[in-house]
Each structure stands twice: as C-alpha cells, then as structure tokens.
Amino acid sequence: MFSLPDIAKEFTYYAVRSSGKGGQHVNKTATKVEVYFSIADSTLLSDDQKAILLSVLKDIIHADGNLRITCEEARSQAENKKKATQKMIALITKALTPKKKRVPTKKTKAANEKRLEEKRKQAVRKSTRRSSTSEE
C-alpha cells in the first residue's frame, strides 16, 4: 500500500479568488485553493483501490473523473493549501478503510423474560379496564 504523503504528490493545486475572510485583500489575491486528484491516472493506487474509490466516492467525483476539494477557510493561500491537502487525504483514507460488518446479536434470556413479564402486566392492566367498562 502507499503512504499518505506520497499520494499528495499526485494532487493538482489551483489558486482562485476567494469569497471568504480577508476584507479588501480578498478582492486582490487568490487565496482559495482547489485540489484535484485524478483517480484513474494515479500510479500509486492499485486497480482494486481505484475501483473502491470510484464506487464509494461516485457522488462527489466530477464528470471529468477528478475528485475536487476546495478550502477557503484561512486568509492565506498556504494555510488553505495545507487544509485542503489534509481534507483530501482524510477523504481517500476513509473511503479505502474497509467497513466492519455488523455482527447480529441475540437478546439475552433475562431480557426476553423481562419483556414477556412486562407484556403480562400490561395485559392484566388492560383486561381489568375492560371488565370494569363492560359492567356499566
């Protein structure tokens, strides 16, 4: 498997104008960072990993086949680049982490008996109500 810092070498970065924090400064500089990752063109991912990413992230992969993450939280381009890279790595890691299968559990015998006892009590409670209304 690949190491996460290596995969960051395959990212493509673009800086664009941000609508975030910065006052008048935001109108003059490109502080928003967009990170693109082409899953199909990756040399570090195996074919199985590519298939997993394409199926798990199918809703956020663009028509051109690129995965795109943007960040405009900070006022500096370097900070946004760092945060966007972290977001992309976290997304890829989460998608490649196999999900644990749920192991169905049985109810305990004591819990089942308690449930049945509660049902009996409820039945008695309702039957006493019924008998009092039918006498009137």
Give the pLDDT of residue 5: 58
Assess whether pLDDT exceeds 70 at residue 127: yes
Instruction: Identify which has the larger pLDDT, 2 or 30.
Output: 30
d(CA 97, CA 81): 24
Q: How many domains in the chain? A: 2
Please indicate, yes or no, whether residues 62 and 84 belong to a single structural domain of this protein. yes
Highest average pLDDT, of 54-63, 111-120, 125-134, comes from: 111-120
84 and 116 housed in the same domain: no
Q: Assess whether 63 and 17 both reside in one domain.
A: yes
In a domain, 102, yes or no: no
CATH of the domain at 23: 3.30.160.20
Whether residue 79 is found in the same domain as residue 45: yes
Task: Say if residue 135's pLDDT is above 80.
Answer: no
Residue 4: the pLDDT is 60
Q: What is the pLDDT of residues 33-84, one digit of tens each?
A: 999 999 888 888 889 988 998 999 889 888 888 899 999 888 888 999 999 9
Cα three-residue angle 134-128-119, rounded to 5 degrees: 135
Taking the C-alpha atoms of residue 91 and residue 125, their distance in angstroms, rounded to an integer, is 55
Q: What is the pLDDT of residue 18?
A: 79
DSSP string, the chain: ---HHHHGGG-EEEEE--SSS-GGGGGTS--EEEEEEESTT-SSS-HHHHHHHHHHTTTTB-TTSEEEEEE--SSSHHHHHHHHHHHHHHHHHHHHSPPPPP---PPPHHHHHHHHHHHHHHHHHHHHHHHHHHH-
Computed over every residue of the chain, the mean pLDDT equals 86
Q: Is 80 strand, coil or helix?
A: helix
Q: How confident is the model at residue 17 (pLDDT cuts 50, 70, 90)?
A: confident
Q: Side chain identity at 56, as an amino acid letter?
A: V
Q: Does the model's pTM come out above 0.75? A: no
The three-class DSSP label of residue 135 is: helix
pLDDT at 136 over 60: no
Q: Which residues pair with 11 in a beta bridge?
A: none
55 falls within a domain? yes
Find the domain containing 15 and state its range.
4-96
